[in-house]
A and B are shown apart, each in its own frame.
Chain A
Amino acid sequence: MSDITKQSLTELVENIKKKKLSSTDVTKAFIQRSEKSSELNTYITDDFTSALDKAKKFDQKPNLDLKLPGIPMAVKDLFCTKNVKTTAGSKILNNFVPTYESTVTENIWNEGAILLGKLNCDEFAMGSSNETSHFGNVQNPIDKNLVPGGSSGGSASAVAGQLTPITIGTDTGGSIRQPASFTGIVGLKPTYGSCSRYGIVAFASSLDQAGPMAQNVKDCALLQEVISTYDSKDSTSINFKRNHYSKELTKNIKGKKIGIPKEYRVDGMPKEIEDLWQKGIQYVKDCGAETIDISLPHTSYALPTYYIVAPAEASSNLARYDGVKYGYRAKGENLIDMYEKTRSEGFGAEVQRRIMIGTYVLSSGYYDAYYLKAQKVRKLIKNDFDEAYKKVDAILTPSTPSSAFKIGEKTNDPVSMYLNDIFTVPVNLAGLPGISIPAGHDTKGYPLGLQIIGKAFDEQNILNIAFAMEEKINFKNKITDWWIK
């Protein structure tokens, strides 16, 4: 049985298609391993009984033409799943049962996959360590004391720990790529407008994107192919020609021009990150690509811009949680008192902090100084990338400025927590695709990731570069199953 959970998505799909494995075999194996893994705290809600029923039903009349035939899969608890509780990691939604399905998960089930359960995340996806979740922190399968990153921490931990063959997360400022880097897996943040936001609990609407998290690049490409569709239910969904990402995947990246931005060499960056980056540069050269030094001059302004734009949008999106139509309600003396107590008791500290920042920067007298200013700087950041892409096809950077940190290490200092996303945030601000691939280990043996940033809608190109690099890197995740009971 343990063999099954070690298989990649691609292997599982092949084995089910060749009838070497049934969906029931596979689903059972992941359920059993998930049940023994409660210490990681990856699941907020499991749907195991129903998953097994669905697997048996699939096996009775298997449709093997589907892309994910009978594959069990747990997803981040930010995706609305019809009739299955969806909490967004928050107390304020701890009893919310959606009456509809998100487009991205609908696409997945339509291709034959089966929901295993809902995975832990930072509250409303606001966090970089999964420590802001109302349902407790998640442990990193690499080491008991480490955070898995965030906000898709439960998703990253579940893939690295082999509790689900693959998963989807969401990425507003790095929430797929940073935890992927911290847990030694692959994570793709697609171009803004590539995957529908319909049915995803909203955080910052101009930045949020769903994306795949996987054991390897090929699996990641296959899931991206399934989730990326035009959707009229999302007004910012973009109708462009989508590739068959997994079929068109190639290791041939000869002649590709890859930019190395000097501004990503930040003060205080550990030497091992710099060394990893140099190794990455060598790998792409070995694959026949050419590297070119480039400049993205406004990089250091990305985080301050993000911490105006994202909270501003969040404060507006989260205004809907008022204790009336769904979710948690506190008792109050009158309507306003009820609202104020509901939101004070229902939201955690980080979410309250961001709502307040957002409210402040949008409030009368401060809008121009903060919000408008940030939108202007966001334009400059996007212009940087537009300029760079006149010369290069993709950009290579580290994914994070450090490896995974310890649980509790940064919870008292919001700014030091925010600095984690220094390399990922510019990509969201410019609406570009970015992929993090595991590329090595630091001296403590913790995984480190490299990020490849692409042009808008050029997911195929960065997947190809990642695919080529993956072979050269030959990364092996150090998972010891320490948590298995």
Chain B
Amino acid sequence: MSIDLKTIKHISKLSRISVDEKRAEKLADDLNSIFEFIEKLNELKTDDVKPLTSIAETTLKFRSDEIKSKNIREQIIKNSPEDNEDYFVVPKVIE
């Protein structure tokens, strides 16, 4: 299997990471060498193996949905790259 530039463009779109031509080529090389290494798994027959989905064999606990933090709106907004008083500002979404 080989990852071509078209696939890189597709993954970059899905990942929401813009990639220019030069970087796309380097990424294709890197990913191909990594996937070549990963292909080793195909040596193993795993049809009858149950996948390990959680390492900690516990059931998730329920908790009541309560607000525990005090009013920290101002501190949270302070971390935003762009804000307008109580709101996060993003580029225009609706035309």
Contacts and interface: CB of A to CB of B under 8 A. Distances in A.
A368 to B, nearest CB: 10
A325 B79 contact: yes
Given A206-B54, A235-B60, A341 B18 contact: yes
A contact patch SS: helix
A52 interface: no
Contacts of A327: 79, 81
B84 interface: no
Q: Which of B8, B17, B54 has the most CB of A within 10 A?
A: B17
Interface string A337-371: 11111011001000011011101100100000010
A356 B16 CA distance: 10
Contacts of B49: 376-377, 379-380
Nearest to B48: A376
A316 to B, nearest CB: 11
A192 B56 contact: yes
Given A307-B34, A356-B17, A238 B56 contact: yes
Contact of B55 (A96, A344, A360, A430): A430
A416 B60 CA distance: 38
A212 to B, nearest CB: 20
Interface in B1-56: 3, 7-8, 11-12, 14-19, 27, 30-31, 33-34, 37-44, 46, 49-56
Contacts of B72: 99
Interface string A254-269: 0000000000000000
B64 to A, nearest CB: 11
A340 B53 CA distance: 31
Q: Which of B38, B40, B49 has the most CB of A within 10 A?
A: B38
A193 B52 contact: no
Q: Which of A95, A326, A347 has the most CB of B within 10 A?
A: A326
Contact of A335 (B19, B60, B79, B93): B93
A356 B44 contact: no
Given A326-B79, A327-B81, A414 B34 contact: yes
Contacts of A347: 17
A323 B81 contact: yes
Interface in A433-460: none
Contacts of A193: 55-56, 58
B41 A338 contact: no
Interface in A295-335: 298, 300-301, 303-305, 307-308, 315, 319, 322-329, 332-335
Contacts of A376: 46, 49-52
Contacts of B19: 344, 352
A10 interface: no
A372 B51 contact: yes
A482 interface: no
A323 B80 CA distance: 8
B16 A380 contact: no
Given A360-B11, A376-B49, A206 B55 contact: yes
Q: Which of A327, A336, A355, A376 has the most CB of B within 10 A?
A: A376
Contacts of B31: 353, 356-357, 360
A100 B51 contact: no
A41 interface: no
B50 A415 contact: no
Contacts of B40: 300-301, 304
Contacts of B82: 329
Contacts of A380: 44, 46, 49
Contacts of A430: 55
Contacts of A301: 40-41, 43-44
B74 to A, nearest CB: 10
B38 A307 contact: yes
Contacts of B11: 356, 359-360, 363
B46 A373 contact: yes
A356 B27 contact: yes
Nearest to B1: A369
Contacts of A307: 34, 37-38
B34 A373 contact: no
Interface of B: 3, 7-8, 11-12, 14-19, 27, 30-31, 33-34, 37-44, 46, 49-56, 58, 60-61, 63, 69, 72, 75-76, 78-82, 88, 90-93
Interface of A: 95-97, 99-100, 192-193, 206, 232, 235-236, 238, 298, 300-301, 303-305, 307-308, 315, 319, 322-329, 332-341, 343-344, 347, 352-353, 355-357, 359-360, 363, 370, 372-380, 382, 413-415, 418, 430-431
Given A232-B63, A308-B38, 6 more contacts: A235-B60, A307-B34, A326-B79, A343-B16, A356-B8, A418-B37
Q: Which 5 A-B pairs have the closest CB atoms?
A: A375-B51, A329-B81, A431-B55, A326-B79, A340-B18
